[in-house]
Amino acid sequence: MTDTQDNLNEYEVAKQTFAWQKAPKSNYKKYFWGSLLGGILLIVQVNYFLGYSLTQNPQTRPALVTASKLLKLSLTPYKNSADFTVIGSNFSAVQNNRHKIQISFINHAEFPQQPPFLLLTLRNVQGGILAQRIFDKKTYLQSEALNSLIAPDEFFTIELLINTPIQSIAGYSIELK
């Protein structure tokens, strides 16, 4: 006998299965479905824990806007008060203990934003705080403009009439929140 025939006989003997031997089962389907479920759970967790902060990040926002248009999904409005700049303001007396405030600001963000909250602080001659109030968009916008967004590089002016304390007002400050 030649070496080739010996090798063939050994291969045939190795190929034979006996009654007590079981053929190995393929776990391909289990691994596939487990990996798919794990990937879906990872995507859900990233969305749950980082979803809002990713939509508010200026670096990731353009890609998310494109993806939401393709998938026809709505994206939460961009909101970053640091992208607003107060251009000017005017504080004037109208009548007894009533004052008119005009505030102009601009949206420097690359995306439309909701109107910001306004923190108005009235100060006395010594610099102490006489009054402080936060105005939300429901306070200073008309009902039809409540759902509107401020476009990029758009100027926006607000006029407010407020009642002020009896003490004399020496100054004021406005912060956008």
Per the CB < 8 A criterion, the answer to whether 84 and 107 are in contact is yes
11-64 pLDDT, tens digit each: 666 666 666 777 777 788 999 999 999 999 999 999 899 988 988 988 999 999
Rounded to whole angstroms, the Cα distance separating 7 from 35 reads 41
C-beta atoms surrounding 86 within 10 Å? 15
- In order, the DSSP letters of 45-103 are HHHHHHHHHHHT-TTTHHHHHHHHHHHT---PPB--GGGEEEEEEEEEEEETTEEEEEE
Find the CATH number of the domain harbouring 161: 2.60.40
155 and 92 in a common domain: yes
Is residue 128's pLDDT more than 60? yes
Axis-axis angle for helices 61-71, 28-55 (nearest 10): 120
122 and 166 in a common domain: yes
86 and 169 in a common domain: yes
58 and 39 in a common domain: yes
170 and 90 in a common domain: yes
14 domain residue, yes or no: no
- Decide which of 44, 76, 108 is a domain's last residue: 76
- In the three-class reduction of DSSP (H, G, I as helix; E, B as strand; rest coil), residue 126 is classed as coil
- In order, the DSSP letters of 111-139 are S-BPPPPEEEEEE-TTS-EEEEEEE-HHH
Is residue 147's pLDDT more than 80? no
Nearest to 170 by CA among 131, 135, 134, 133: 131
pLDDT at res. 14: 63
- Whole domain around residue 135: which residue ranges? 81-176
Is residue 10's pLDDT more than 70? no
Q: pLDDT above 70 covers what percent of the chain?
A: 88
90 and 67 in a common domain: no
132 and 71 in a common domain: no
pLDDT at res. 51: 87
Q: pLDDT above 90 covers what percent of the chain?
A: 28
Place 138 in a pLDDT band, splitting at 50, 70 and 90. confident
48 domain residue, yes or no: yes
Place 8 in a pLDDT band, splitting at 50, 70 and 90. low
